[in-house]
Amino acid sequence: MFWKIKTCLAGALLLPAIGATELRNIMYLTNQHEIFPGDTQTAPVTHVAMSFMRPHVFNRPEGSHDWPAMWQTVEATRAQFRDGVKVLIAIGGWGDTEGFSDAARTAEGQKRWAANVAAMVKDTGADGVDIDWEYPGGNGEDYKTVPNEEKAWEIEAYPKFLGEIRTALGANKIISAAVPGKVGDMLAFTADTLPTIMQHVDFLNVMTYDMMNRRDNVTKHHTGVKLSIEALDAYIDRGARAKDLNLGFAFYVKWFKTQHEPCLANPIGCPTVLMEDPETGADLGQAGAFAWADQTPDWLSASWQAALTWGKYDPDDGSYYHWDENLDVWWTFDTARAVRNKFQSIVRSKGVGGVFAWELGSDGPQFSRWQALNKGVDFANRHHSQKHEL
């Protein structure tokens, strides 16, 4: 199996033009990390999403063309990737939901927001937008302080909101949405709403990461294969086509404090400590994340080295993990091999139309996941393209 991949990649010297049968390969970009890989112009990236503009910006009266400056222009981003790459502006992100709620509340507000976004897309020269509302219907960062019942109206409003964005942008611009990877967070993505949602968007970026977070009380793989398949299946069962879904990859590492005794026999699925305040939802400092490009917190650095050296692949799932029994820390992250394996175990087996990663600069300075992702995409484009033809 592995030699086959190697043989095929050896022949992958010519980069084809971006074609309709290619897997989508989408990179979120921020300016949070200085290092950038040297091969972006030859990598099989189809879209990049510059993150973030804030949603509240588009609630102002129409007619202004004064948009928040990003760290570089759309044109500068375009020039960093191969010809034909689509550049999207991502709007929102974790914790930034209020501007969306304000916009979506009334038909008038939806139209105004959509018209402003269309003007921004025209003025910046972008190819479209990625709507990162986390999440319509609730379970966002404020879920303890603003109960989901107060956001229940958003479940019906969300597809209409997307419809207004489509009307304002027209058929030729791209609209994508970043959507939850945990089934419990898919409040606005039901069998009733999803068919309409899919009429308005080009594709969904299913955030198949952070599937273990501080709200959990047992250890899980945050980018787990089984959890990813469960997420994709939920969207498919509720009315999305597999080829309109993209599988998410995380270019960062997560750790969680666990209990000790109950984890000795098997650290997979064993109890954590309490990681968030049950009243306020505040972070209790018992879990964290860092980018590959970041410094590891000092107190964790020996544990982190152990996780890199002694981690294992869960035979039941394929995901990489390590449990440090000295500090009682659960480590969960993707290695390059874990990325590679997902092309067979998820991308191909579910027939999804693409992959995406949060976020490119985070994978430096080695860019091992980035390279594995590109190899997987190249391989799929050469061997399985018929699967994605319309």
Ligand X SMILES: *[C@@H]1O[C@H](CO)[C@@H](O)[C@H](O)[C@H]1NC(C)=O
Shortest Cβ 137–ligand X spacing (Å): 20
Question: Measured between alpha carbons, how far is 27 from 120 in angstroms, rounded to an integer?
Answer: 21
Please tell me the count of residues contacting ligand X according to CB under 6 A.
3
Query: Which residue, 162 or 268, has its beta carbon nearer to ligand X?
Result: 268
Cβ nearer to ligand X, comparing 167 with 259: 259
Rounded CA separation 383/381 (Å): 6
Distance in angstroms (rounded) separating the CA atoms of residues 87 and 78:
7
Q: Does 183 bind ligand X (CB under 6 A)?
A: no
Per-residue buried b or exposed e for 79-95, using 16+ beta carbons within 10 Å of the residue's own CB? ebbbeebbbbbbbbbee
Comparing CB distances to ligand X, the nearer of 213 and 371 is 213
What tokens appear for 218 in the block? Answer: 């047992």
CB of 259 to ligand X, least distance (A): 9
271 lies in the site for ligand X, by CB under 6 A: yes
Judged by CB, which is closer to ligand X: 152, or 218? 218
18 versus 218: smaller Cβ distance to ligand X = 218
Q: Are 344 and 375 in contact (CB under 8 A)?
A: no
> For residues 145 and 217, which CB has a smaller minimum distance to ligand X in the complex?
217
272 vs 341, beta carbon nearer ligand X: 272
218 binds ligand X (CB under 6 A): yes
Q: Cβ of residue 280: shortest distance to ligand X, in angstroms? A: 17
Q: Which of 133, 127, 117 is nearest to 49 (CA)?
A: 127
What distance in Å separates the CA atoms of residue 125 and residue 89, rounded to the nearest whole number? 10
Least distance in angstroms from the C-beta of 347 to ligand X: 31
Q: Which of 32, 145, 217, 301 binds ligand X (CB under 6 A)?
A: 217
Q: Please, what is the minimum distance in Å from the beta carbon of residue 214 to ligand X?
A: 13
CA of 306: how far to CAs of 158, 218, 270, 271, 331, in Å?
Answer: 44, 21, 20, 21, 10
Q: Across the chain, how many H-helices and E-strands are there?
A: 12, 13
Mapping DSSP onto H, E and C, the string for 323-345 reads EECCCCEEEECCCHHHHHHHHHH
Q: Name the minimum Å distance from CB 217 to ligand X.
A: 4
- Return the structure tokens found at 58: 């588009």
In the complex with ligand X, the residue whose CB is nearer, 102 or 216, is 216
Q: 169: phi > 0 → left, psi -120 to 50 → alpha, else beta; which?
A: alpha
Is 281 one of the binding residues for ligand X (CB under 6 A)?
A: no
- Cβ at position 165, least distance to ligand X in Å: 36
Residue nearest to ligand X (CB): 217
| Closest distance of CB 331 from ligand X, Å | 19
- Which residue from 51, 50, 48, 49 is spatially nearest to 81, judged by alpha carbons? 48
Which residues bind to ligand X, rule: CB under 6 A? Answer: 217-218, 271
